[in-house]
């Protein structure tokens, strides 16, 4: 208990999450289900290369439901990304007092108007998005459609809790509707295949049309299974859309690793765009 109090003490210039692994930071800070859903391991893997850069980090859904209190994740991100600006978006008003690097905007993640107001507040597009919002069918896709095309090269987009695509109370069904996050995954598979040069080599022509159209430049798709040893991990899912870093980075061919064939629930999905062209000399 005393260690947690020390970590949370505002008088400390350096917080624990600034230098310890993400999983340990989540355990110390508490107030978030990232560890329960086994998100911390893949997040650590994909956030490692940008952790100490100056990023705009956006979390959609900051915890606490209708309460004005927030969960613990904004605090974790503030300290895990010690040089970044952290933004939280939630449909409910929240009391967020986490210092000058953390700002809160009230808004609906499925509203283009609210997302536009958010982008204006951020003074630029996000480098990292973590969608832990409503999980209602269509909402995650609406946010992705607005934010993803604006993100710079090297950005990371994550969508949590894809399992609600199958839950009727969240607008889901079996099979999951096209407007759901799992429906998005199916579209991303088409998008990856559309960029496969095999279609050209074989004389067939172009591959399947990408769905949605703004993901036409997806280059690779990586799928990881959940960890059944981590509580509800087998019932949870994360999508991470990873835009390659600056031009010059090599683009790996399509690789699918650890496909969860026992259940149609994906733990982590990574999507890559081709690298941005290098500036002409």
The dihedral built from the CA positions of residue 170, 32, 223 and 139, taken in this order, carries a sign that is positive
Cα–Cα distances in angstroms (integers) from residue 100 to residues 119, 127, 212, 270, in the given order: 18, 19, 37, 31
The pLDDT assigned to 262 comes to 24
Per-domain residue ranges of the chain: 2-272
The CATH code belonging to domain 2-272 is 3.40.50.150
Q: Give the contacts of 201 (CB within 8 A, at least 6 positions apart).
A: none
Residues 177 and 171: their CA atoms lie apart, in Å, by 9
Residues 57 and 269: their CA atoms lie apart, in Å, by 19
In tens, the pLDDT along 133-170 reads: 998 989 998 998 899 888 887 778 888 888 888 889 98
Mean pLDDT value across the chain: 73
The pLDDT assigned to 192 comes to 67
Alpha carbon of residue 33 to chain centroid: 15
In tens, the pLDDT along 71-120 reads: 999 999 999 999 999 999 999 999 999 999 999 999 999 999 999 999 99
The pLDDT assigned to 197 comes to 67
Annotation says 15 is catalytic: no
Mean pLDDT of 43-60: 92
C-beta of residue 182 within 8 angstroms of C-beta of residue 165: yes
Range among 15-19, 65-69, 197-201 rated most confident: 65-69
Global confidence as pTM:
0.75
C-beta of residue 70 within 8 angstroms of C-beta of residue 95: yes
pLDDT of 181 > 50? The answer is yes
The pLDDT assigned to 259 comes to 28
Which residue out of 37, 135, 139, 222 is catalytically annotated? Answer: 135
Q: Give the contacts of 62 (CB within 8 A, at least 6 positions apart).
A: 70, 71, 73, 74, 88, 89, 90, 94, 96, 104
pLDDT of 40 > 70? The answer is yes
- β-partners of residue 271 are 221, 241
pLDDT of 236 > 50? The answer is no
With pLDDT > 70 as the criterion, what percentage of the chain qualifies?
Answer: 63
Name the token pair of 162: 């894809």
With pLDDT > 90 as the criterion, what percentage of the chain qualifies?
Answer: 33
Residues 199 and 254: their CA atoms lie apart, in Å, by 14
pLDDT of 244 > 70? The answer is no
């Amino acid at each position: 208990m005393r260690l947690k109090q020390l970590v949370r003490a505002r008088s400390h210039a350096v917080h624990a999450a600034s230098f310890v692994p993400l999983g340990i930071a989540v355990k110390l800070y508490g107030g978030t289900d990232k560890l329960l859903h086994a998100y911390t391991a893949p997040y650590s893997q994909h956030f490692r290369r940008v952790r100490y850069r100056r990023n705009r980090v956006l979390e959609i859904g900051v915890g606490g439901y209708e309460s004005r209190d927030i969960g613990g994740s904004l605090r974790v991100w503030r300290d895990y990304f010690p040089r970044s600006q952290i933004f939280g978006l939630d449909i409910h008003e929240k009391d967020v007092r986490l210092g000058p690097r953390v700002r809160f905007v009230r808004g609906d993640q499925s509203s283009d108007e609210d997302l536009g107001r958010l982008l204006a507040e951020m003074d630029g597009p996000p480098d990292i998005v973590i969608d832990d919002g409503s999980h209602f069918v269509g909402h995650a896709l609406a946010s992705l459609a607005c934010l993803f095309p604006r993100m710079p090269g090297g950005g990371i987009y994550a969508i949590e809790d894809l399992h609600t695509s199958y839950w009727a109370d969240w607008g889901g069904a079996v099979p999951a509707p096209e407007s759901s996050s799992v429906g998005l995954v199916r579209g991303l598979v088409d998008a990856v295949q559309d960029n496969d040069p095999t279609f050209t080599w074989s004389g067939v022509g172009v591959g399947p049309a990408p769905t949605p159209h703004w993901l036409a430049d997806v280059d690779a798709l990586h799928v990881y299974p959940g960890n059944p040893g981590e509580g509800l991990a087998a019932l949870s899912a994360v999508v991470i859309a990873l835009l390659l870093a600056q031009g010059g980075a090599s683009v790996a061919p399509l690789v699918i690793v650890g496909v969860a064939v026992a259940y149609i629930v994906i733990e982590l999905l990574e999507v890559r765009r081709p690298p941005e062209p290098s500036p002409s000399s």
